[in-house]
Amino acid sequence: MTKLCVTLTEQTPEAMLAAMRRLPAFVDMAEVRLDHIRKVRPCLSASDVERICQGKDRPIVVTNRPRREGGLNEGPEDARVESLRKAAALGAEYVDIELDSVGVLGEIRGGTQRIVSYHNFELTPPDLDNIHRNAVAVGADVVKVAVMARDIVDTLPIMALLRRHAASVPTIALSMGEEGLPTRLMGRKLGAFLVYACAEEGSEAAMGQVPCREMEHLYRFSQISAGTDIFGVVANPVAHSMSPVIHNAAFAEAGLDAVYLPFKVTEPRPFLEGYEPYDLKGLSVTIPHKEAMVPLMDEVDELTARVGALNTVVIRDGRRLGSNTDVAAALGVLESCAGRAGLLPLERCTVLLLGAGGAARAIAFGLSGRVAQMTIANRTLSRGRDLAAEVGASWCGLDEIANLRPDILVNTTSVGMYPRTDESPVPESMLRRGMVVFDAVYNPMETTLLQQAREAGCIAAAGLEWFIAQAAVQFETWTGLVAPRERMAQVVLERLSRK
């Protein structure tokens, strides 16, 4: 069974042992990075190694990584390797030695096992099988391959490596970087010997490491198995997304054997084709892929075909089914706000819609024929003009909106989204009492636009309401179950309140 291993990078043996003891019980192992102790001491002593090995409270991997492999040790090679021999003699369960140094290490005493490792911080090389074969040939007890993912498709050779070898040779294989994060969870599904995490946010020893509590409490690492279904959000950027929070909580509440991952995707087609063989069952789709995903579907519903953008994919019996849960969710929020503002029915309202992307298209088609007048404003004039022609609306540039006086303002642009939270898509002078302002941005919960709208006496609605509503329909589309909406709302509010 795949173990969860936390990498410790404290700078003294005492601090490292204290950090180890603070780790939760579900952390199976700790990787002790001796090269980080070397960072603050002129020479790593035998007593340093002895204190760690004798004071450990769980199995450890002892690593003393040289600069050439991404570590901090710049000292003599013989002294570095000797520290690993010492750790083995003192009872460390594993020592990690680089593939190009394993011959120097030679035989080690006791029951300590050798993790023979290869690192590439630039790219994912094409010869992963040869690297794995070479590590086995030099007597690795465990093979480790860690490479950089520059694109989500770079994770595919790593997952294929695990699928081919993990059952016969204990293997650790992972992709570093934001694009490689899914391999941290897929490693458990594919039988990796162990998966690395960090102790907490900010203590990452490698790009893409996830805090151990997040691994367990958000992604339910210990419950992932070979049969776990894979879901996720396709976006670029994706780091800010609350979708993993809301959907993993929903899966847990429903007791489903499923995990929901963030996928930073550049090109949807190769991603879909590459991940489908790994039990990919459903996707949320957001900026900038809502429109690009449509032609990749085997079937879309009538509304999605009209809108030309989707936010939900179901993969069932080898077929991709696309739908759009944005429309009904957005209309529900707008009607609720308009009711509070005394503006119902919508047929007498004027609307200014900012943006012309996938979210804007959903709202534009939902409002088409249901409001007195709609104006679409977009940075790229041709996109705004084309969408306006499709839905029978007027259009203008974003620099022409200052003198408009709509009853309802809807922002679907990314202006004001984390991390650029101090920006607003409209001049503050546009906002007036009794106006409805709906900002589709949900991270942060209270954007600059919404703050200014409330100060002006507007009826303001955060994108969070829309986000939760559309996510609930996604869950029901994927599972056929009633969505646990209260729980979904609770976890998102908790997470955003900590930011």
Question: Among all residues, which ones are annotated catalytic?
Answer: 119, 144, 290, 326
The conformational region for residue 91 under phi > 0 = left, psi -120 to 50 = alpha, else beta, is: left
| CA-to-CA dists, residue 293 to 78, 324, 381, angstroms | 54, 11, 23
Q: Tell which residue, 460, 434, 436, has the closest CA to residue 448.
A: 460
Grouping H, G, I as helix, E, B as strand and the rest as coil, residue 98 is strand
What is the strand order of the sheet 312-316 is part of? 258-264, 229-235, 280-285, 312-316, 319-323, 299-300
| CA-to-CA dists, residue 255 to 215, 248, 481, angstroms | 18, 10, 11
What is d(CA 79, CA 345) in angstroms, rounded to the nearest whole number?
79
Rg (CA), the chain: 26
For 87, phi then psi, to 5°, come to -60, -40
Rounded to whole angstroms, the maximal C-alpha distance in the chain is 83
Token pair for residue 145? 């391959």
For 148, phi then psi, to 5°, come to -90, 135
What is d(CA 335, CA 322) in angstroms, rounded to the nearest whole number?
26
Provide the strand spans (E) within 202-349: 229-235, 258-264, 280-285, 299-300, 312-316, 319-323
For residue 202, count CB atoms less than 10 angstroms from its CB and return exposed for 0-12, middle for 13-18, buried for 19 or more: exposed
Residues recorded for the chain: 499
What is d(CA 154, CA 263) in angstroms, rounded to the nearest whole number?
12
